[in-house]
Structures are given as structure tokens and as C-alpha cells.
Structure 1
Amino acid sequence: MLLSRNEALDLLRRYIKNERMIAHSLASEAVMRALALRLGRDPEKWAQAGLLHDLDVEITNADPAIHALETARILTGLGIDGDVVDAIRMHNEMATGLERETEFQHALAAGETITGLITATAMVYPDKKVASVKPKSVVKRMKEKAFAASVRREAILECEKIGLTLDEFAALSINAMAEIADEIGL
């Protein structure tokens, strides 16, 4: 089962109070929807994983050893689709120590991670807008050790495991985020 978007947003807001985290979740939802459409997968299922992937970030203090496991427990208790729960559980490899196996798992790891890099890249532009960001800028920033210190580059490179080049993935993600720029404050 999947929640309606309104139910998912209510659930997100029940657990997440930080507006920046909510914006990150909305951006991840948009990127995952775009990825699903590009790959011919279920956009609602993939978008829901993007929206809810960090549901436990505040209650676990983003502890890498347990982050995503509490979300998986909460969503399993609600009867959420098992593929969604598995993708969310696997987006944080530090908690499970397991290798991602499915296209969905690789996509969520890449999709939720690139939103942070695009946001950070936008912040270096005078107008601080996603529309100012170019794919080459994202790729360049990803390769800069200091700039990308808080971004798991390996997770972004998961895009290659679903058949997208890094440039194509960056462009798709920027476009998805630009469509909701007002909602996420960028």
C-alpha cells in the first residue's frame, strides 16, 4: 500500500519539524518522480520513497548506525509497500552494512543525495536559485573534496547503476527541483 500524497505529507510533518529537512524531502520526492518517469517505473511509489526517506532523521539525530531503520519500522507498521520500505532502509548503507540490490534502491540513494549537492551549488550563486545551477557545476562541485565533504559522492554515483550518466542525472535532478523551487525556497 502507498499513502495518498496528503497522508504522506501529514506523516512527514508529524515527524519532521525542521523546514530545511522538509524542503529536502520535497526535493527528493520531485527527483525520484522524475527518475521513475525517465526509467518507466511507478512515479508515485518512487516519489513516496523520496518524500519519506528521512522520516526518522530528527528522532534518531541522523545517527548513521540507525538512520532509516526507524523509518522502515514506522512504515512497515503502517503497511507501506515493501519495495518502498526496502529502498528507504537501504538508502543509508551505514545502518545496514548491506549492498543495494535493486534499481529502486540505487535510485533512492542517488536521488536523495543529489538534492543536497544541488542545493549547496545553488547557494554559491548570487540569486540562490536552482534555475541558476548547471549540470556541469554540480559535477564540478561533486569532485571538489572540501565542497562535497557532507555529500556521499558514492551515493550520487549510484545513478550509473541505473543507466544514467552523471551529467544526465544532474540535469534531470536540477529540472525536477526547479519545478518546485518556490515550494522548497530555491
Structure 2
Amino acid sequence: MFDREQALGLLRKYNSNEALILHAFCVEETMRKFANHFGEDASYWALVGLLHDVDYGSFPDQHCIKAPQLLEEIGADEAFIHAVCSHGWGLCCTVEPTLRMEKVLYTIDELTGLVYATALMRPEHMQGMGVKSVKKKWSSKGFAAGVNRDIITEGAKMLDMDIEQVISLTIEAMSEAQEKIGL
């Protein structure tokens, strides 16, 4: 199994945009938080989160299609590749999220974007942010218009979790990693 240093090297090899790297860090830390919540392997889940958009920077038109080839460069196995690609289900690929880890990734990929955008609008960024702040921005369709709220809702249902709990865990994860994620 590869380590975080190798994973980050691969991510940076194909993604030069620092905003994509920061997004990867948001998803990495949120996946770690959810893994701990469910008593799962936090390091593994975090690596899946870190590499979920490995192909996006260089191959945006082949997102989740090119990823398997790139992930093979560091020896990722089929299960890891499936997990990474599953977040694009129904959007850019047909790999369905079936494991809990994959369902979490599918759900929080979009949600981390909404939480990040909400933080940028606040003078104190993540400090003191609650579910209410995110839900308020959620209802403003013009705010973070690229965030697909339907995927977040569908993902929460797939996880059989209350949307407020999903948002709360995401806020906690990102709050704990403020410096790492550029806030």
C-alpha cells in the first residue's frame, strides 16, 4: 500500500491548481472524520478522499475515467480505485457507491465545497460555524451555484443519516483542519 506522501505526489503531478489541492485536503480530512465516527480505517478513508479528484486537473473531461490509470502509478488496488471513482456516479461515470466509505465520499465531496464557500463569507471563517449557517447558504441557489445539493441529500439518504448530522461532522472536520485547508 502506498503512503500519504506518494498519494500527495501523484495528486500534485496531475493537479497544478492550488484550489483543487485545498479541496482534496478538505475531502481528506472529512473522510478521516467520518471513518473515525464509524470506527473504520481513518488512514485509508483519508487517502481515498485525498485522491478522489486525482484526474480532474489534467483530464477534466475524463474525470473518474482516467483516474484508474493514474492510480495504478502508485499501486492502488481495484477496491481503492472503485472507491475513488464512485464519487462521480451519475455525473461522469457509472461506478456506483456501494460501501459506506464510498457513500460518504459521494456525499461530502459536494458538501465540503458548500462549507468552504460558507466559511469564506464569514470574517471568522470556520470559527463558530454551525449547521444553521450552512443550511442558510444551502437555500440560496445562487450561492455556490456549482454545488449539487441534490447529491448531498441523496448521499445522506444512502447513508441513512440526517443531513444535519452529515453537515455537522463535515464542519467539525474542516474546523479541525483550518490551517491545512487554507482557512
Q: TM-score, normalised by structure 1?
A: 0.89
Give the CA deviation at 1:91: 0.7
AA aligned to 1:47 is A
Q: Does 1:40 align with 2:39?
A: yes
SS of the aligned residue for 1:75 comes to helix
SS of the aligned residue for 1:37 comes to helix
1:163–1:40 CA distance, 2 compared to 1 (3 A): farther
Count of aligned positions: 181
Query: Bigger CA drift: 10-19 or 98-107?
Result: 98-107
Q: Is the 8 A contact 2:6 2:74 kept in 1?
A: no
1:142–1:81 CA distance, 2 compared to 1 (3 A): farther
AA aligned to 2:134 is V
SS of the aligned residue for 2:53 comes to coil
AA aligned to 2:102 is Q
| 1:75-101 superposed Cα distances (whole Å, 9 cap, x missing partner) | 135331322211211111222245432
Q: Is the 8 A contact 2:82 2:95 kept in 1?
A: no
Give the CA deviation at 1:141: 1.9
Q: Is the 8 A contact 1:118 1:133 kept in 2?
A: no
Partner of 2:8: 9
Query: Aligned partners of 1:29, 1:174: CA distance in 2, in Å?
Result: 13
Q: Which of residues 67, 79, 83 is equivalent to 1:83?
A: 79
Query: Aligned partners of 2:81, 2:176: CA distance in 1, in Å?
Result: 26
Query: Aligned partners of 1:20, 1:132: CA distance in 2, in Å?
Result: 23
**What are the within-5 Å matches in structure 2 for residues 68-107 of structure 1?**
68-93=64-89, 94-97=91-94, 99-107=96-104
Q: Is the 8 A contact 1:31 1:172 kept in 2?
A: yes
Query: Bigger CA drift: 137-146 or 28-37?
Result: 137-146
SS of the aligned residue for 1:133 comes to coil
Q: Does 1:164 align with 2:164?
A: no
AA aligned to 2:119 is A
SS of the aligned residue for 1:130 comes to coil
AA aligned to 1:161 is M
Identity %, equivalent residues? 34
| 1:114-141 superposed Cα distances (whole Å, 9 cap, x missing partner) | 11001111122123x1224211221232
Query: Aligned partners of 1:85, 1:141: CA distance in 2, in Å?
Result: 33
SS of the aligned residue for 1:181 comes to coil
**What are the within-5 Å matches in structure 2 for residues 123-142 of structure 1?**
123-127=120-124, 129-142=125-138
Aligned-residue RMSD, C-alpha? 1.7
Give the CA deviation at 1:28: 0.5
Q: Which runs of 5+ in 1 are unaligned?
A: none
Query: Aligned partners of 1:105, 1:164: CA distance in 2, in Å?
Result: 14
Q: TM-score, normalised by structure 2?
A: 0.90
AA aligned to 2:18 is E
SS of the aligned residue for 2:54 comes to coil
Q: Is the 8 A contact 2:156 2:162 kept in 1?
A: yes
